[in-house]
Structure 1
Amino acid sequence: METLNKPENEISKILMKKRPNSNTAEGIALHRLRELVRPESERICYDPYAIYFINPEILEFIRNNPDKARAETERYDRFLPGAVNSIVARVRYFDDFVKKSIDEGLEQLIILGAGYDTRAYRIEGLKKLKVFELDHQDTQSVKTGKIRKIFNSLPDHVVYVPIDLAIEDFGQKLQDAGYDQSKKALFLMEGLLYYLPPKFVDEILFFISMKSSKGSYILFDYFPESVIDGSCELEVGRNLHNHLVEMGEPLQFGIKEGTIEDFLVERGFSRIQNVTAEEYKKMYFRGANKDRGVCSLYSFAHAMIE
Structure 2
Amino acid sequence: MEQPDRARDPPRDHTRSGPSLTAERVAAFRAAESMLPVDQRVCYDPYAIQFTDPDRLDDLTEYTDTHFPGLRNYVVARARHFDDVITLAAKTGLVQLVILGAGYDTRPYRIKELEGRVRVFEVDHPDTQQVKKEKIAEIFGGLPEDVVYVPVDLETQDLGSLLLDSGYFPVKKTLFVMEGVIMYLTPRAIDAILSFVVNNSGQNSAVLFDYPEETGDDTDSSSRKTREDFGKHTARHGEPILFSMPKEGPGAFLRARGFSRIRIVPGDDYRRLYFIRKKEGRELLTTSSFVYAVVGDR
State the TM-score, normalizing by the size of structure 2: 0.88
Which whole-Å CA distance do the structure 1 matches of 2:63 and 2:169 have between them? 46
Q: Deviations over 1:88-146 (max 9, x none)?
A: 00000000000110111101100000000000000012121210000011111110000
Unaligned runs of 5+ in 1: 1-17
2:247 and 2:66 mapped to 1: Cα distance? 25
The aligned residue for residue 285 of structure 1 is 275
Alignment correspondent of 1:25? 23
Separation of aligned partners in 1, 2:87 and 2:44? 14
Structure 2: distance between partners of 1:88 and 1:298: 13
* CA deviation after TM superposition for structure 1 residue 288, in Å: 0.2
CA 1:102–1:232: 2 relative to 1, 3 Å: same
Q: Is the 1:272–1:301 contact (alpha carbons within 8 Å) kept by the matching residues of 2?
A: yes
- Structure 1 residue identity aligned to 2:121: F
Tell me how far apart the structure 1 counterparts of residues 19 and 220 of structure 2 sit (CA, whole Å). 29
- Report sequence identity in percent: 43
Distance 1:191 1:274 in 2: 16
1:189 aligns with 2:178: yes
Q: What is the CA RMSD across the aligned residues, in angstroms?
A: 1.9
Which one of 241, 244, 265 corresponds to residue 251 of structure 1?
A: 241
- 2:201 aligns to what? 212
SS at 2:284's partner residue? Answer: coil
Q: CA deviation at 1:247?
A: 2.1
2:77 to 89, 94, 98: 89
Q: Deviations over 1:260-298 (max 9, x none)?
A: 100000000000011101000100100000111211212
- String of CA shifts for 1:69-104, please: whole Å, max 9, x gaps: 3xx634422321211111100000000000110111
What is the DSSP-based 3-state SS (H/G/I as helix, E as strand, rest coil) of the residue aligned with 2:39? helix
Residues of 2 paired with 1:293 and 1:257: CA distance? 26
In structure 2, how many angstroms separate the alpha carbons of the residues matched to 1:161 and 1:31? 25
Note the C-alpha offset of 1:222: 0.7
- Do the aligned residues in 2 keep the contact of 1:225 with 1:255 (CA within 8 Å)? yes
Matched, 1:267 2:257: yes
Shift of 1:60: 2.6
Higher relative contact order (CA 8 A, sep 6+): 2
How far apart are 1:256 and its partner, in Å? 2.5
**Residues 297 and 258 (structure 1 numbering): CA distance in 2 closer, same or farther, change over 3 Å?**
farther
SS of corresponding position for 1:249: coil
* Counterpart-to-counterpart distance in 1, 2:214 and 2:185: 13
Change (3 A) 1:172 1:19: closer
Equivalent residue, structure 1, for 2:112 = 124
SS of the residue aligned with 2:239? coil
Question: What's the CA shift for 1:232?
Answer: 9.8
Alignment partner, residue 173 of structure 1: 162
Cα distance between partner residues in 2 of 1:244 and 1:34: 21
Counting only pairs closer than 5 Å after superposition, residues 57-76 of structure 1 correspond to structure 2 as: 59-61=54-56, 69=59, 73-76=61-64
How far does residue 236 in structure 1 lie from its aligned partner after superposition?
1.4
Counterpart of 2:43? Answer: 45
Letter in 2 for 1:45: C
Alignment pair present for 1:144 and 2:166: no
On the 8 A contact 2:215/2:287 being kept in 1, the answer is: no
TM norm structure 1: 0.86
Number of aligned residue pairs: give it: 276
Matches of 1:172 and 1:241 in 2, distance apart? Answer: 32
